[in-house]
Structure 1
Amino acid sequence: MQILIPIDGTDASKRALDFAIEMASQMGGSLHVVHFTNKPTDATEAILDDARGRLASANISAEPELTTLTVDVWNADRVGKEILDVVEAHGYDHVVMGHHEDGTVERAIFGSAAETVLRAEAIPVTIVP
């Protein structure tokens, strides 16, 4: 099983990565960790460093990947579509994603990457709150 884990540095994302690590080790799967950004910053490196530490603690040699998007409008729906493009391009079997509860206004405006991936019904998805 090849598992894709998009990370964004939130606590929900970190819980999803921990869940995916456990899932992969129990099922003999491989992990691909990816972080999407439109502009790499120090925070970006901190997100990748945290993922490296979690993977190393579990004795997993996967290297988190940084994907830079050139977008004018940055929203969760766009990120969800990018995740689906990665799934299609690389043939992943499963996606594990964190999902944190936003306020009603934020969800109406920005949507949710996890919801976009889940509603596409293109691949099995595990959502970790």
Structure 2
Amino acid sequence: MQILVPIDGSDCSFRALEFATEFARRYEASLHVVHITDAETDATDDIADRARELLAEAGIEDQPEVSTDVELTFRPANRVGEGILELVEERGYDHVVMGHHGSGAVERAILGSAAHTVIEEEAVPVTIVP
């Protein structure tokens, strides 16, 4: 089994990564971490560093990937969700584990939700960690 864990730097995305490390260990699965952004910054480096630490603590050998997508300017969460789905299709992931902020209806209507986009497509089993 191959598990994809998209992270955005939020606490819930790192809780999802912690959950995924245990899930991967328990089911002897491979795990891949990705951060999708419109530009690499110091914050991007910090997110990748924190992910590396969590992976090292769990004894998992993976280097977080930073995927730069310059089309994130309009409804960025939906575009991130689409990027996750593209990775699932291109690389054949069997499962996605991701965090969700629990945003309200107004925020979701304006910004969208990456988790909602991935779940709605029904392309792969998804575990959502609050």
Q: TM-score, normalising length from structure 2?
A: 0.96
Moved more, 111-120 or 65-74: 65-74
Gaps of 5+ in 1: none
Q: Corresponding residue for 1:21?
A: 21
Q: Corresponding residue for 1:37?
A: 37
Moved more, 10-19 or 63-72: 63-72
1:33-57 C-alpha deviation (Å, 9 max, x unpaired): 0000101110000000000000000
Q: Corresponding residue for 2:46?
A: 46
**Alignment map for 1:1-129 (pairs within 5 Å):** 1-71=1-71, 72-129=73-130
CA RMSD of aligned residues (A): 0.9
In structure 2, C-alpha distance between the alignment counterparts of 1:102 and 1:120, rounded to whole Å: 19
In structure 1, C-alpha distance between the alignment counterparts of 2:59 and 2:123, rounded to whole Å: 30
1:63-97 C-alpha deviation (Å, 9 max, x unpaired): 00000012142511111011000000000000000
Whether contact under 8 Å (2:75, 2:110) holds in the other structure is: no
Whether contact under 8 Å (2:75, 2:112) holds in the other structure is: no
In structure 1, C-alpha distance between the alignment counterparts of 2:101 and 2:69, rounded to whole Å: 22
The letter for the 2-side match of 1:29 is A
In structure 2, C-alpha distance between the alignment counterparts of 1:61 and 1:122, rounded to whole Å: 26
Moved more, 100-109 or 75-84: 100-109
Large movers: runs of 4+ above 3 Å: none
Identity score, percent: 60
Q: Secondary structure at the match of 1:127?
A: strand
In structure 2, C-alpha distance between the alignment counterparts of 1:25 and 1:40, rounded to whole Å: 30
In structure 1, C-alpha distance between the alignment counterparts of 2:112 and 2:70, rounded to whole Å: 19
In structure 1, C-alpha distance between the alignment counterparts of 2:81 and 2:41, rounded to whole Å: 21
Whether contact under 8 Å (2:76, 2:111) holds in the other structure is: yes
The letter for the 1-side match of 2:40 is P
In structure 2, C-alpha distance between the alignment counterparts of 1:58 and 1:80, rounded to whole Å: 26
